[in-house]
Amino acid sequence: MAEGKTMALVMCSTRTPRLNPFIAAYVLDQLAPLLAGTAVAAIDTIDLADQQLPFYDEPVLPACLPGADPTPHALRPRAHAPLYNWSVPAVLKNALDFLFHEWKGKPAGIVSYGFRRGDTEGDMAAAHLQDVLTGLRMRPAPTAPGLITTAIMIAACTESGRVSEYDRTRWRDAGVEDQLKAMARELLQGL
């Protein structure tokens, strides 16, 4: 296994207010101890809200840029993707479209969240993203944890600054922590 890798935690929702920073902090809390002492030396958080990317309108396909010198970016993403109309937010797809060689070959973990999961929508969003990442020649981890959220969570998290113990317990009981552990193992095996 290679040493000193950096994992990027990509925040994929840019609206205000949003649940995403609180979900990202929760996932980071869970992952940090699992990755301590492994080949992942650091976790960088990349907030797409800070990138201010325009809609992709470059004349050249990212896949046609020289692989040896595509762009200054080099990411190993794990995406925290909210469910928007049975898929991922357009801002995430746009960010993925901007690069090719930088994504290619890298392992990726998907954590999705939305009001529903397990029957249709949440799984569909994660499955859409898995397809897109596979199209980018990435290697999505088979385990893709999904968090069921509620309409009151944004206001509650914004007020308290974090995901409540009630929701953490609810997710733990639903097996989310075990899924995050499995996903971390799969990502490490893919390095």
Binding site for ligand FMN (CB under 6 A): 13, 15, 18-20, 82-86, 114-116, 121, 149, 154
Question: Least distance in Å: CB of 12 to ligand FMN?
Answer: 8
Question: Least distance in Å: CB of 64 to ligand FMN?
Answer: 32
Residue (15 or 137) nearer to ligand FMN, CB: 15
Residue nearest to ligand FMN (CB): 82
Residue 163's nearest CA partner among 17, 5, 23 is 23
Residue (18 or 106) nearer to ligand FMN, CB: 18
Count of C-beta atoms within a 10 Å radius of residue 167? 20
DSSP 109-178: EEEEEES--SSSHHHHHHHHHHHHHHHTT-EE-S---EEE--TTHHHHHHHHSS--HHHHHHHHHTTHHH
Residue (9 or 188) nearer to ligand FMN, CB: 9
Residue (38 or 94) nearer to ligand FMN, CB: 94
Please say whether the beta carbons of 134 and 106 come within 8 A.
Answer: no
Question: Least distance in Å: CB of 174 to ligand FMN?
Answer: 15
Q: Is the dihedral of CA 39, 43, 44, 45 positive or negative?
A: positive
Question: Least distance in Å: CB of 14 to ligand FMN?
Answer: 8
